[in-house]
Amino acid sequence: MALTESRTPTDARTVGAPETATLDGLIGSADHKTLGRFWIAGGLFFLLGSLVVSAVAALETIDLSSFTVASDADQFTQIWSLGREVLLFGGVLPVFVGLATYLVPLQIGAPAIAFARGAAAAFWAWLLGTVLLIVSYIFNGGPGGGKADFVVLWTVSLGLVILALLWATVIVATTALGARTIGMTLDRVPFATWSFLVFCLYGILTLPVVVADLALTYVRVRHGFVALDARQTLVGVTNLFTYAPTLFWLAIPALGMAADAVGVHTGRPVMLRKPVLAAIGALSVTSFGAVYYSFGSVRPIDFNNFVLVADIAATVLPILGVLGLAGESIRRGTPRLNVAFIGSMLGGLLFLLASVAALLGLFEPVQLWLIDNADTGNPDKLLVLNGTTFHDGLRGIVVGAVVLAITGALHHWAPKIWGRRMAEPLGFGAVLAAALGGVLWGLGGILAGVDNQPAYPVSSLAGGDNVELYNLITLIGILAVTAGALLTALNAAQSAVGRNTAAGGAAWSGLTLEWATTSPPSPGNFDQPPVVRSATPLADAPAQPTTGTDAGGEA
């Protein structure tokens, strides 16, 4: 069969078949379950690393009188930028892609992911790109870097990372759109799959903007159009995804997974499916951030402000809607107060907090108040907090929310992914640390931004009178989020190596298709293609083929 040939689900069953434990079998695997685990493990690893680097950058700002960790402003910018880029492109996005790669085929009743070898290529390209990205910083490249060759390597490696993620999102979206089993219409797909589809389409329609910018930056750096000390130009390449509103892209899969988990752990599937699907889809309106980013200076500045504020305002309502409908399930059902449930809900609440904070920070009356009452040092009426650590604070809350969402999702689907549950005590520790850390990180960053601390220094560290205290709060927040992520990673590793409790023949009493097969699923996922007649196929028991051993099991 030629590489260009698309495979039928039946063909894909054989492609996804090898589940060998040998090293060459693992490295050469095109099975979506193996690749999903790889993405999750790699993503968690780099997430932890990036959080440590972010903590180092925060440590530097505890004392504004001089540089202690970094040698100068350039090196500080490198540390800050490395943490920010790897956090997003090396940590958070890969974990979400991994969960999508693992879960989407199972939830839609497909035997394999579309373009299985392409999915493997995406993972290995991402891994190579992320390693090269870190190498480029180590050898004095990246924004603030002093060696032209390694600044060029930074553009190339970041481009490779983003292209690999882009390709992975194309594959997941293609799977969700084209490989659904019989009867699985789009309005019947589980919330997680729907959210991954929206998440991937969002990525497909926004990530290329950054790739284009990187191509331009490559030419500019290579031919000397951009001086190496033009940090603002180089840092700005990834601003689109690290600033609101595009930052709230990450809320889409978090809310979808939460809706699935809440339905299972309350014993009451979330009511009003279509409004929930619509609300998750509505979050994609933040993709207009790409328009703002691309055409920002071409349009009148008042219009830009309107677009930005409207865009962020549009994130609050969908998040509130999904949480409200999930709350209705909690009210009607009997919630199990476990990590999957609490982590998912707290993640959603933290996203809500971040979106409200973003809206308030950019709302014109608030900005006018800041001009009158705070030492922002920015005479413009518009976006008075731009360029300050205000956006770092927002990102901090979002990172806390993401760690909570990942913790909740991994606890919920660990029996499916590794055949073992994750330990609840460790999980509660992770949830507590991530929630507390996200709030503190956000509080410190936002207050320091209002107190006129730039996101990265031009020549020396600067800020208002209380900035050092705020930075200490930020540092404590980052350390707490790091602890949460570390506990989750250790917990997941224990499940992966078989040290946690085996799920046995029973998992949660989920009603979606992934619970209709064994845990972990066998090659090909299902003995025969499932036939779906509703959004809760396992509730239609007579219509289901007997494909697994743990369907409908209760913990």
Partner 1 sequence: MTDISLYQRIPVDVPESTPARPRLLLIATSLVAAATVVGYVGLTAWYAHVRQGVLGTDQPWLPSGVTIPLTQPNFMLLTMVFSAVAMAWALSAVRHDDRPNAFIAFALTLMFGFAQIAQTAYLLTLMNLPAAGNPAAALIYTMVGVQLATTAMAMGYVVAMALRTLGGGYSARDYEGVLSATVFWFTNVGVYIILWYAVYITK
Name the site residues for partner 1 (rule: CB under 8 A): 2, 4-9, 114-115, 166, 170-171, 173-175, 177-179, 182, 201, 204-209, 211-213, 215-216, 218-220, 223-225, 290, 294-298, 529
Report residue 510 as tokens: 């989920």
Report residue 503 as tokens: 């799920």
Q: Which is nearer to partner 1, 305 or 389 (CB)?
A: 305
Q: Which is nearer to partner 1, 92 or 170 (CB)?
A: 170
Q: Which is nearer to partner 1, 224 or 542 (CB)?
A: 224
- CB of residue 169 to partner 1, shortest distance in Å: 8
Q: Let me know: does 456 contact 242? Beta carbons within 8 Å.
A: no
Q: Which is nearer to partner 1, 217 or 495 (CB)?
A: 217
Q: Let me know: does 410 contact 487? Beta carbons within 8 Å.
A: no
What string of DSSP letters covers 136-190? HHHTT-STT-S-HHHHHHHHHHHHHHHHHHHHHHHHHHHHHHH---BT--GGGS-
Q: Which is nearer to partner 1, 246 or 344 (CB)?
A: 246
- CB of residue 173 to partner 1, shortest distance in Å: 6
Q: Which is nearer to partner 1, 18 or 208 (CB)?
A: 208
- CB of residue 45 to partner 1, shortest distance in Å: 27
| Helices 93-107 and 390-417, axial angle in degrees (round to 10) | 40
Q: Which is nearer to partner 1, 171 or 362 (CB)?
A: 171
138: Cβ contacts below 8 Å, ≥ 6 apart: none
d(CA 456, CA 473): 18
- CB of residue 501 to partner 1, shortest distance in Å: 38
Q: Which is nearer to partner 1, 143 or 419 (CB)?
A: 143
Q: Which is nearer to partner 1, 305 or 474 (CB)?
A: 305
Q: Is the peptide bond before 245 cis (omega within 30 degrees of 0)?
A: yes
Pick from 429, 451, 448: nearest CA to 440: 448
Alpha-carbon distance values, 265 to 166, 548, 555 (Å): 33, 21, 10
Q: Which is nearer to partner 1, 206 or 407 (CB)?
A: 206
The amino acid that residue 118 corresponds to is G
- CB of residue 98 to partner 1, shortest distance in Å: 20
- CB of residue 297 to partner 1, shortest distance in Å: 5
d(CA 246, CA 234): 19
- CB of residue 232 to partner 1, shortest distance in Å: 15
Ramachandran region, residue 508 (left: φ > 0; alpha: ψ -120 to 50; beta: rest): beta
Sign of the CA dihedral with 189 first, then 208, 159, and 315 last? negative
Q: Let me know: does 187 contact 274? Beta carbons within 8 Å.
A: yes
- CB of residue 346 to partner 1, shortest distance in Å: 33
- CB of residue 205 to partner 1, shortest distance in Å: 5
Pick from 155, 150, 91, 114: nearest CA to 30: 114
3-class state of residue 338 by DSSP:
coil
3-class state of residue 225 by DSSP:
coil
- CB of residue 298 to partner 1, shortest distance in Å: 5
